[in-house]
């Protein structure tokens, strides 16, 4: 679940000592406290509104109302006024209680989240000078907020050129949608949502446990998304992580106390029972996200295991000749920070790592960063991919398409259907493509899909193996992602059938748009 970073000071609601016989009673505030503790801010705000009819000018109700509005989709701007009223009453800082601290801090957050970066920065800096130095945890949070604001001011000066589109009601709802993953040909999209699914709503909470959903691209649009079913969803939290380019292998996250990564295979249009990934991928700590390389021989993942730089860190593991996963190596401080890193994604050519981080030069919450691999195999210093792709809210799960012209990602934006929606980014066109999608079908003589074929692609000039591919069992469809500018030999071997060899040429300067411009080969019939 994408957790909002807003409530970091408010740990418990304490009835303030207000010199008024019209102050709220503690028994009226306890139910509101309980609702806020489980993130049910809408219901809490509704109860505060009723209580304000009896106590219309109570500063404490202004304060907690502002905090609730700050956490309700589409109502962040509304939080500014009540928090300003609370701040006007409490001042900047008081040793008697923390209401002044809360009012100023959350007002600063409201300014920051509504792009009033300079106002937020000024307020956080005044607060930093007012809070005693012995309150180190508060100073650490203020330092982070100040960095967010300074980064945002700088990033706003150099906006990135792109077009962003909400994927619409076939995918997004009033609930959270996040963690999009896409097949190589962009015809299958899977994601995570806490809408009503297979699980019952948790008591007192506003949301349902997360489930995995999927949708397919048909006739120029996404079909209405559907729950992926009981084979991969449970009555707990299940989330998407990574999808192989052919759409046949799926890595998911399950929260079973500490949180682990699982893998499922698709056969006959059904997902298999997910199998827990072995050590050293999973540990006794939380592993929350992962991404496989195109060839399936490397995996990057996030973990809270000891030995990292702090919070969630990104690790990488490579397959050994035995097929087992090798030692998990912590990526350097060029990528990891003392704060949290999340949602790593390896580009199809393996040269770029995209990930989300609360550190580096984030303008607020998680921002998307990229790191390029150098000639020595080391990952370079993380670079913020820019504003307005990144926002003051959480921006995660950045999944570029094969050609890099489009990106699927999750973001908290004011124009969304819910707090977190899935969007597609489209960048200005370029002519060259370094990779191409090649797709086709294999059938037997009686018209049945071939499920036992193995496709080996080698370079025509050197006989070097480029990759091994298999068709989908229920359709016979195969999908291959290959570097362009090379001539290949495609060899199709099937038990009991004549081996087929076919030349395949992929010119370098060709407009390979994955969904609309994949190279589709004529269906091939296997003969005995």
**In the prediction, which pLDDT does 516 show?**
45
Q: Which among 156, 175, 191 is the end of a domain?
A: 156
* pLDDT at 292 exceeding the cut of 70: yes
The domain containing residue 176 runs over which residues?
Answer: 163-426
List, for residues 226-285, the tens digit of each pLDDT value: 999 899 999 888 999 999 888 889 999 998 778 999 999 988 778 999 999 999 999 999
* Count of domains for the chain: 3
Asked if residue 451 belongs to a domain, the reply is yes
**In the prediction, which pLDDT does 68 show?**
97
Pair 375, 357: CB distance under 8 Å:
no
List, for residues 462-520, the tens digit of each pLDDT value: 888 888 888 887 778 888 888 888 899 999 998 888 888 889 888 765 544 444 444 55
448-473: average pLDDT: 86
Q: Following DSSP, what letter does each residue of 53-114 receive, concatenated? A: HHSTT-HHHHHHHHHHHHTSTT-TGGGHHHHHHHHHHH-S--SS-SHHHHHHHHHHHHHHHT
Distances, alpha carbon 34 to alpha carbons 53, 257, 329, 506, in Å: 21, 23, 42, 61
List, for residues 279-288, the tens digit of each pLDDT value: 999 999 999 9
* pLDDT at 2 exceeding the cut of 70: no
Q: Which among 426, 453, 486 is the end of a domain?
A: 426
Q: Which among 156, 186, 209 is the end of a domain?
A: 156
Asked if residue 401 belongs to a domain, the reply is yes
The answer to whether residues 249 and 330 belong to one domain is: yes
The answer to whether residues 108 and 43 belong to one domain is: yes
Distances, alpha carbon 327 to alpha carbons 15, 154, 318, in Å: 52, 39, 8
Q: Of 476, 366, 464, 465, nearest to 411 (Cα)?
A: 366
Asked if residue 397 belongs to a domain, the reply is yes
Give the CATH number, domain containing residue 458: 2.60.40.1120
pLDDT winner (highest mean) among 34-38, 367-371, 435-439: 367-371
Asked if residue 314 belongs to a domain, the reply is yes
Asked if residue 59 belongs to a domain, the reply is yes
pTM, full prediction: 0.81
The answer to whether residues 386 and 450 belong to one domain is: no
* pLDDT at 306 exceeding the cut of 60: yes
Q: Of 385, 332, 394, 333, nearest to 361 (Cα)?
A: 385
The answer to whether residues 102 and 180 belong to one domain is: no
Pair 441, 476: CB distance under 8 Å:
yes
What kind and span of H or E run contains 37?
A: helix 26-37
Asked if residue 369 belongs to a domain, the reply is yes
Residues 6+ apart with CB under 8 A from 62: 82, 83, 85, 86, 89
Confidence of residue 18 (pLDDT cuts 50, 70, 90): very low
Pair 408, 182: CB distance under 8 Å:
yes
Average pLDDT of the chain? Answer: 87
What kind and span of H or E run contains 52?
A: helix 41-54
The answer to whether residues 57 and 171 belong to one domain is: no
Q: Of 375, 367, 242, 215, nearest to 298 (Cα)?
A: 242
Distance CA 354, CA 385 (A): 9
Give the CATH number, domain containing residue 193: 2.120.10.30
Residues 6+ apart with CB under 8 A from 412: 2, 365, 391, 393, 394, 395, 419, 420
What kind and span of H or E run contains 406?
A: strand 406-411
313-335: average pLDDT: 95
pLDDT winner (highest mean) among 313-317, 414-418, 433-437: 313-317
The answer to whether residues 125 and 236 belong to one domain is: no
The answer to whether residues 368 and 494 belong to one domain is: no
Asked if residue 5 belongs to a domain, the reply is no
User: Which percentage of the chain shows pLDDT scores above 70?
Assistant: 89
74-102: average pLDDT: 90
Beta-strand relationship, 188-193 and 177-182: antiparallel
Residues 6+ apart with CB under 8 A from 26: 15
The answer to whether residues 95 and 174 belong to one domain is: no
The answer to whether residues 382 and 494 belong to one domain is: no
Q: Of 477, 480, 482, 478, nearest to 460 (Cα)?
A: 482
The answer to whether residues 188 and 256 belong to one domain is: yes
* pLDDT at 391 exceeding the cut of 80: yes
The answer to whether residues 451 and 392 belong to one domain is: no
Confidence of residue 408 (pLDDT cuts 50, 70, 90): very high
Asked if residue 21 belongs to a domain, the reply is no
More confident residue, 180 or 402: 180
The answer to whether residues 385 and 244 belong to one domain is: yes
């Amino acid at each position: 679940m994408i957790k909002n970073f807003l409530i970091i000071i408010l740990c418990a609601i304490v009835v303030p000592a207000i010199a008024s016989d019209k102050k709220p009673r503690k028994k009226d505030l306890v139910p509101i406290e309980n609702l806020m503790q489980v993130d049910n801010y809408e219901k809490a705000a509704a109860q505060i509104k009723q209580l304000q009819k009896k106590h219309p000018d109570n500063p404490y109700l202004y304060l907690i109302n502002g905090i609730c509005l700050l956490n309700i989709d589409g109502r962040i701007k509304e939080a500014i006024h009540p928090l300003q009223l609370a701040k006007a009453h409490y001042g900047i800082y008081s040793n008697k209680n923390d209401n002044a601290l809360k009012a100023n801090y959350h007002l600063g957050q409201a300014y920051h989240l509504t792009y009033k970066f300079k106002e937020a920065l000024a307020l956080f800096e005044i607060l930093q000078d007012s809070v005693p130095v012995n309150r180190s945890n508060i100073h650490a949070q203020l330092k982070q907020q100040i960095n967010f604001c300074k980064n945002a001011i700088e990033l706003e000066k150099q906006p990135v050129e792109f077009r962003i589109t909400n994927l619409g009601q076939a995918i997004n709802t009033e609930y959270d949608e996040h963690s999009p993953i896409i097949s190589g040909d962009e015809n299958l999209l899977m994601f995570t949502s806490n809408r009503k699914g297979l699980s019952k709503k948790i008591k007192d909470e506003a949301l349902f446990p997360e489930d995995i959903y999927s949708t397919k691209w048909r006739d120029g649009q996404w079909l209405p998304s559907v729950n992926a079913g009981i084979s991969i969803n449970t009555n707990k939290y299940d989330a998407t992580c990574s999808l192989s380019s052919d759409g046949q292998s799926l890595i998911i996250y399950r929260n079973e106390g500490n949180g682990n990564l699982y893998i499922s295979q698709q056969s006959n249009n059904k997902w298999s029972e997910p199998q827990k990934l072995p050590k050293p991928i999973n540990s006794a700590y939380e592993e929350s996200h992962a991404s496989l390389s195109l060839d399936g021989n490397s995996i990057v993942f996030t973990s809270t295991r000891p030995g990292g730089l702090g919070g969630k860190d990104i690790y990488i593991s490579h397959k050994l000749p035995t097929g087992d996963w090798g030692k998990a190596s912590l990526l350097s401080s060029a990528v990891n920070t003392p704060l949290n890193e999340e949602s790593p994604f390896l580009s199809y050519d393996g040269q770029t790592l995209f990930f989300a981080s609360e550190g580096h030069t984030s303008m607020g919450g998680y921002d998307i960063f990229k790191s390029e691999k150098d000639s020595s195999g080391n990952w370079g210093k993380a670079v913020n991919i820019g504003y307005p792709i990144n926002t003051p809210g959480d921006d995660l799960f950045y999944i570029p398409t094969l050609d890099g012209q489009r990106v699927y990602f999750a973001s908290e934006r004011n124009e969304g259907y819910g707090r977190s929606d899935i969007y597609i980014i489209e960048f200005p066109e370029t002519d060259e493509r370094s990779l191409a999608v090649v797709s086709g079908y294999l059938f037997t003589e009686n018209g049945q899909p071939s499920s036992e074929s193995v496709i080996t692609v080698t370079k025509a000039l050197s006989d070097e193996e480029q990759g091994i591919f298999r068709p989908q069992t229920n359709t016979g469809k195969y999908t291959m992602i290959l570097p362009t500018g090379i001539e290949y030999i495609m060899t199709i071997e099937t038990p009991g059938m004549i081996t087929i060899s076919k030349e395949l040429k992929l010119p370098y300067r060709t407009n390979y748009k994955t969904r609309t411009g994949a190279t589709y080969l004529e269906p091939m019939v296997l003969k005995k």
